[in-house]
Amino acid sequence: MVGLLCLTLGLAPVIPEPHVWEKLKMLAAGDLTRPMDIFDLLLHGMPWMFALAKLALRPAR
């Protein structure tokens, strides 16, 4: 389920570039200041945060 979220919401829209990638570039450049841009980063980044948390918290085999 988390993988499906990453592929749909996490990468939407795919063309011309995913919002999460655009917002991460803005964050790195220091241009992420508008509340809508911050909300957009959180919205599109949440599936990726869930995926990382799921990987980090899985039991060792």
Binned at pLDDT 50, 70 and 90, residue 8 comes out as confident
Q: Is 44 in contact with 9 (CB distance < 8 Å)?
A: yes
Q: What is the pLDDT of residue 21?
A: 86
DSSP 3-state assignment of 33?
Answer: coil
56 versus 61: which is more confidently predicted? 56
Contacts of 17 (CB under 8 A, 6+ apart): none
Of 42, 40, 36, 48, give the one whose Cα is nearest residue 8.
48
Q: What is the pLDDT of residue 43?
A: 85
pLDDT above 80: residue 7: no
pLDDT above 80: residue 60: no
